[in-house]
Amino acid sequence: MSEDLSGRRIAHYRIDGVLGRGGMSVTYKATDVRLGRKVALKVIGEHLAPDAEFRERFVDEARNTSAIDHANIVPLYDFDEVDGLLYIAMRLVDGQDLSGHIKEGPLTPARTLTLLAQVAEALDMLHGKGLVHLDVKPANVLVTTKEGSREHVYVADFGLTRRGATGHRTRTGDFLGSPTYAAPEHLRGEPVDGRTDQYALACMLFACLSGRPPFQGGVQEVIQGHLGQTVPALSQLVALPPAIDDVIRKGTSKDPSQRYANCAELVNAARVALAGVAQGSAPAQLGTPSGSIPVQSPMSGPMAAQQAPYQGGYQQQPLSDPVRLRPPNQVGVSAFTSSKKERPAWFAPVIAAAAAIVVIIIVVLILTPRDEPARQPKTNSSPTLNLEDGSASKKPLPTSVPVRTSR
């Protein structure tokens, strides 16, 4: 969506300015006029709103995220649809996302482990609930220092799905997420689970320590790298021990069963591998290895998170189209609209009234008393006397006695 909604109102939110843009959404800084608080308002692109598959996933994301209470997961306040616009309102985090920090160069091992340990804790909690994030990347990790003396991390912009689902695609085959950090099974549309997020976390570990993602170039080059190439050896890019290569290689195994048991185990293995390294200084870069692809951010179709500081220094990213990989699986019923044929508004009241009438008739029939046996009609004939002797003659009894009057 290219239109800037700054200055407008969506429901009870006044839009104050743009925070970030992506191929799927625009995130605004907004004010909740009812409560008087600042929020980050993510508005979904109008071109995706009619897609039943996307709308269903949007509602799942909002409902699942709102039910999660964790110190490292950005709180979600509200979601709805107004005038064809889908939006999510979440906490406005005063800080910068991890991608902004990585652009400045490799992070120190100590800082990398501190930040990613918080991400791992949040992800493992989700996986324990049977959920998979499916869009783990530096742009969705918000870093703030206002939570205390150390940097605090919020994981945001969930593409939440149930474990065993088959990844993120719309009706038209659009891949909802960034292929830069996507696991092979996710790209192929195969069943996903917590190990899918772990793959992305291992790629983030590579990016934090090297200043670049594992695979670079165009969209198809990045995808082919994840599907069939081994992640480059980190120790050949920066001055780090080869033990870290083994950690990243296991975390990014093409076979999910060969990865670590959980995300925390991945971070702990990295901590052991980096134990002998000077933790307070960034690893020195060793130059670009021969045959490597020059640094270039691949196009992607991520749902934008809050990207960059809110006080200056933010460069908006141009909108890009979502990545189209392959036809999706069968689309289910939308959470907003039903795939069944819509019935007219009067249909339900008429059916209810008819049912009520039938019930009343049944009750009346049950409560109505049964009819008494019909009585014999009265006749003017005189009663007869039955004689016990069996006489065939039956004389009528006298009904009156004549009275003579004397003169």
Name the strand (E) or helix (H) holding 85: strand 85-91
Give every CB contact of residue 68 below 8 A, 6+ residues apart in sequence. Answer: 125, 126, 129
* Rounded distance between C-alpha atoms, residue 403 and residue 407, angstroms: 13
Q: Name which residue leads in pLDDT, 191 or 343.
A: 191
Distances 134 to 92, 186, 194, 358 between C-alpha atoms, Å = 22, 8, 9, 52
Mean pLDDT of 337-360: 70
Which pLDDT does position 161 carry in this prediction? 61
- Bridge-partner residues for 26, per DSSP? 21, 43
Q: How would DSSP label each residue in 30-78?
A: EEETTTTEEEEEEEE-TTTTT-HHHHHHHHHHHHHHHT---TTB--EEE
The answer to the question of whether 29 is labelled as a binding residue is no
Mean pLDDT of 356-364: 86
Q: pLDDT category, 30, cuts 50, 70, 90?
A: very high
Query: Of 60, 97, 124, 135, which residue is the catalytic one?
Result: 135
Q: Enumerate the domain spans of the chain.
A: 94-324
* Rounded distance between C-alpha atoms, residue 72 and residue 84, angstroms: 31
Convert the pLDDT of each residue in 270-282 to its tens digit: 999 999 886 667 7
Give every CB contact of residue 153 below 8 A, 6+ residues apart in sequence. Answer: 72, 98, 115, 118, 119, 122, 141, 142, 143
**pLDDT surpasses 90 at 155:** yes
- Going edge to edge, which strands form the sheet with 152-155? 96-97, 141-144, 152-155
Residue 211: both structure tokens together? 């200043």
Annotation marks residue 135 as catalytic: yes
CATH assignment, 94-324:
1.10.510.10
Convert the pLDDT of each residue in 160-187 to its tens digit: 565 555 555 444 445 556 799 999 999 9
Sign of CA dihedral 88, 89, 91, 92: positive
* Rounded distance between C-alpha atoms, residue 400 and residue 95, angstroms: 122
Mean pLDDT of the chain: 77
Q: Name which residue leads in pLDDT, 51 or 308.
A: 51
> Could you give the angle at the alpha carbon of 40 between the alpha carbons of 311 and 309, nearest 5°?
25
**pLDDT surpasses 50 at 10:** yes
